[in-house]
């Protein structure tokens, strides 16, 4: 954002002056307008001020600053106004009041929403500079948060593309992450995840093996058994993935899932030997989904199992490698998927 754009946004800020001193309100309004702030509104009733502030937030056009007197003759008191706002809304407040007692000032500043406390009578230019500083600081902070979020989402998109590129280099794992993502979402839905959690577990499925980008291809694609040294190298991939993804704040909630998706329910997995409920739920879901797809896919070191054989293996390893409840949920998912495929086959036969 250029300086010109920033100042344009700054001068579009909405300011609400809540005070029953009409002369003071008009003075402040005229001064701010002369400094390039045309959106200054006035309100003398405390209750009506809260209604306006709340409505502005609901309309996604919030006030950039509320200038508030503590001694209001109509409606809620100034203290009630800032306490109500502090409890429910993220709107900055500057108290401008003749109340000069130290306890009142400290109480207001400790409320968590009063940014400044100015005692009447005040220097108008000093008041203006304090207000502009508050608005500028919050506007800049909001811009930086939006910019960081855009950068993080761009980074996430790049990582997802890189994960697919990584798989494309290995014919044995092509589409593996997409299938793990699909299975994980299906299990998580049965486990009661909400829509946002389902989106995140699906992303975790796509990125769960991303750490293999740090493992030599000759090791990943080696036919037959790995040496102890090679196996230890492969076991590092959850740690590599979690280190790469750690800067993306949007993914913080699933980084632990990715780090621990090779933990075993009985504590014999890696990298940290966690067991049972100490393993994050998302990691336990990924473990079931990842293992099933690995068993039913061709790999350099084994032929694919049938779906039925892989189901039996999941059941056999309940309580050892896998969370028993999640295995049961996934078996239900597989049954539903099979019935859906059979319905499609019958429909095609009827139409042919």
Which are the catalytic amino acids? 212
Structural contact between residues 260 and 272, judged by C-beta atoms closer than 8 angstroms: yes
**Beta strands 40-43 and 65-68: pairing type?**
unpaired
Nearest C-alpha neighbor of 64 from the set 16, 18, 30, 114: 16
Q: How far is CA 297 from CA 97, 205, 310, 331, in A?
A: 72, 16, 10, 18
| Sign of torsion over alpha carbons 345, 347, 348, 352 | positive
CA dist 147 and 49 (Å) reads 32
CA-CA distance, 113 to 127, in Å (whole number)? 18
List the one residue out of 72, 71, 123 whose CA is nearest residue 100. Answer: 71
- Show Cβ contacts of residue 19 under 8 Å, excluding neighbours closer than 6 positions: 25, 42, 44, 67, 68, 69, 72, 96
Which residue is listed with tokens 């855009």? 150
Number of residues written out for the chain? 352
User: How far separated are the first and last CA of the chain, in Å rounded?
Assistant: 60
Query: Can you give the C-alpha Rg of the chain in angstroms?
Result: 30
- The two beta strands, 15-18 and 65-68, are parallel
Q: The tokens of 308 are what?
A: 């039925």
Separation of alpha carbons 349 and 4, rounded Å = 66
């Amino acid at each position: 954002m250029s300086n010109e754009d920033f100042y344009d946004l700054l001068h579009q800020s909405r300011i609400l002056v809540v005070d029953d001193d009409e002369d003071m309100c008009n003075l402040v309004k005229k001064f701010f307008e002369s400094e390039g702030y045309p959106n200054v509104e006035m309100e003398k009733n405390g209750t009506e001020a809260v209604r306006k502030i709340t409505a502005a937030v609901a309309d996604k056009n919030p006030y950039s600053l509320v200038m508030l007197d503590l001694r209001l003759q109509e409606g809620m008191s100034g203290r009630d106004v800032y306490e109500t706002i502090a409890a429910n809304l993220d709107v900055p407040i500057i108290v401008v009041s003749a109340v000069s007692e130290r306890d009142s000032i400290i109480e207001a500043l400790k409320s968590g929403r009063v940014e400044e406390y100015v005692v009447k009578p005040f220097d108008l230019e000093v008041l203006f500079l304090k207000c502009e500083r508050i608005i500028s600081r919050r506007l800049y902070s909001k811009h930086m948060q939006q910019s960081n979020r855009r950068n993080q989402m761009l980074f996430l998109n790049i990582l997802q593309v890189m994960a697919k590129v990584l798989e494309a280099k290995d014919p044995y794992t092509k589409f593996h992450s997409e299938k793990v993502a699909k299975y994980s979402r299906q299990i998580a839905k049965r486990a009661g995840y909400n829509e946002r959690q389902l989106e995140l577990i699906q992303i975790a499925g796509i990125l769960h093996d991303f750490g293999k980008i740090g493992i030599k291809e000759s090791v990943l694609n080696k036919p037959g058994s790995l040496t102890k040294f090679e196996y230890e190298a492969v076991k590092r991939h959850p740690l590599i993935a979690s280190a790469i993804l750690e800067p993306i704040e949007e993914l913080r909630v699933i980084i632990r899932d990715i780090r621990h998706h090779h933990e075993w329910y009985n504590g014999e997995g890696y990298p940290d030997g966690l067991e049972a409920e100490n393993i994050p739920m998302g990691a336990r879901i990924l473990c079931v989904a990842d293992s099933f797809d690995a068993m039913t896919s061709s790999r350099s070191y084994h032929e694919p199992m049938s779906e039925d054989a892989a189901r039996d293996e999941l059941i056999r390893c309940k309580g050892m490698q896998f969370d028993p409840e999640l295995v049961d949920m996934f078996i239900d998912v597989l049954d539903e998927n099979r019935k859906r495929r059979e319905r499609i086959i019958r429909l095609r036969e009827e139409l042919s």
